[in-house]
């Protein structure tokens, strides 16, 4: 590949576009609802729920980048003239789409797009055609994707919280990053170390999308829960086996309890003090109790405090459910025999969803 850096390509920064699509198993898109925006912010981050058949419209550039990667791996690139290369690329794009569409059912598709500026590196060999620029390791895709991880996890977690029926599952089905130079021409960056990316459903009601939109904003604002969102998404991801899904679900629940416990411990003691009277002696007594108990709470005790503050009629049942989940976790972590199919993953996710919802509602009130 000849080194043909043009003036437009040597600019210090270029716009990048990051596109990633997820299949949401457990939701189907109403045929007449069209594309529905869930999230948009001023930074250029957008999330849209679309019918499956509309995915091709969003993914042409990343499909073409993947097609070019396939052709390079098959040693076609460099031996064809640009016209022949264009034909080969379009044929490969069609094959990618046909294969993807065969694998997809009627599930909901979530498309995430993000834009920003990045400094490209054209020091390595690259080639420019009439329609695109192709180079090797022009940008660090990992860093760009990582910059948007917390936003994406917040959206997926919000969608999970917004569904009341059986827990949804998510699967990443396409994704990529490319640049756009000053001439509007896409710039594709190939990485030699990577290969090409390649339940009963209920309709996605408008209320679900609207609820997810509200929850997305709330979860993005609660930065302390970013790790909870990330683990929840891993728990519902079909890319993980049943064992990992349970471990991720339990970890998300455990971290959530640890993150919010102090807030509800304070509320509980404040409530007890109001009932017992505002006397300074009583205040000193409860302060002493808190000091003594500071490092004595187990994870089940912490959950009990949170449940007592957030719900009135289900405390005992939820504490019992939490205890049974913890028993399963303890058996697993202590090396006892277990059956993956019996792991209480859905029960764990549903309990986490419930208390995440209650927590976010209380924060908003």
- The secondary structure of 87-153 as a DSSP string is HHHHHHHHHHHHHHHHH--SEEEEEEEEEEEE-----S-EEE-SS-EEEES-S-HHHHHHHTHHHHH
Residue given tokens 């917040």 in the structure block = 154
Rounded Cα distance between 214 and 228, Å, is 18
231-258: per-residue pLDDT in tens? 999 999 999 999 999 999 999 999 999 9
Least confident segment among 43-52, 144-153, 319-328, 347-356: 43-52
What's the average model confidence in pLDDT over 325-354? 90
Maximum average pLDDT range among 33-37, 206-210, 218-222: 218-222
Mean confidence (pLDDT) of the chain:
83
- pLDDT over threshold 70, residue 288: no
pLDDT at residue number 111: 95
pLDDT category at 179 given cuts 50, 70, 90 is very high
Rounded Cα distance between 152 and 150, Å, is 6
Rounded Cα distance between 236 and 246, Å, is 9
Least confident segment among 105-109, 157-161, 192-196, 253-257: 192-196
């Amino acid at each position: 590949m000849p080194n043909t850096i043009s003036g437009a390509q040597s600019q210090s920064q270029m716009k990048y576009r990051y596109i990633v699509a997820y299949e949401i198993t457990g939701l189907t898109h109403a045929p007449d609802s069209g594309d529905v925006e869930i999230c948009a912010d001023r930074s250029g981050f957008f999330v849209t729920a679309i019918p499956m058949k509309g995915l091709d419209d969003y993914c042409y550039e990343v499909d073409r980048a993947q097609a070019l990667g396939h052709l390079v791996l098959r040693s076609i690139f460099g031996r064809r003239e640009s016209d022949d290369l264009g034909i080969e690329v379009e044929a490969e794009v069609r094959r990618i789409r046909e294969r993807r569409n065969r694998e997809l059912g009627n599930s909901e598709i979530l498309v995430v797009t993000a834009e920003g500026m990045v400094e490209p590196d054209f020091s390595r060999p690259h080639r420019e055609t009439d329609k695109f620029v192709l180079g090797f390791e022009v940008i660090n895709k990992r860093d760009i994707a990582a910059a948007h991880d917390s936003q994406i996890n917040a959206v997926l977690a919000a969608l999970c919280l917004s569904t009341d029926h059986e827990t949804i599952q998510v699967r990443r089905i396409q994704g990529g990053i490319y640049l756009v130079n000053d001439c509007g021409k896409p710039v594709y960056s190939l990485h030699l170390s990577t290969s090409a990316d390649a339940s009963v459903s209920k309709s996605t009601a408008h209320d679900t999308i609207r609820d997810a939109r509200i929850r997305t904003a709330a979860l993005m604002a609660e930065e302390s829960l970013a790790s909870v969102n990330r683990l929840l998404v891993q728990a519902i991801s079909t890319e993980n086996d049943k064992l990992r899904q349970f471990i991720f679900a339990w970890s998300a629940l455990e971290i959530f309890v640890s993150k919010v416990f102090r807030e509800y411990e304070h509320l509980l003691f404040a409530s007890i003090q109001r009932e017992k009277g505002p006397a300074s002696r009583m205040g000193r007594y409860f302060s002493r109790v808190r000091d003594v108990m500071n490092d004595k709470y187990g994870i089940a005790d912490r959950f009990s405090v949170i449940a007592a503050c957030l719900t009135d009629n289900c405390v005992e049942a939820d504490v019992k459910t939490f205890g049974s989940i913890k028993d399963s976790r303890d058996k697993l972590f202590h090396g006892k025999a277990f059956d993956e199919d019996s792991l209480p993953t859905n029960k764990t996710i549903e309990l986490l969803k419930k208390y995440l919802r209650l927590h976010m509602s209380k924060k908003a009130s």
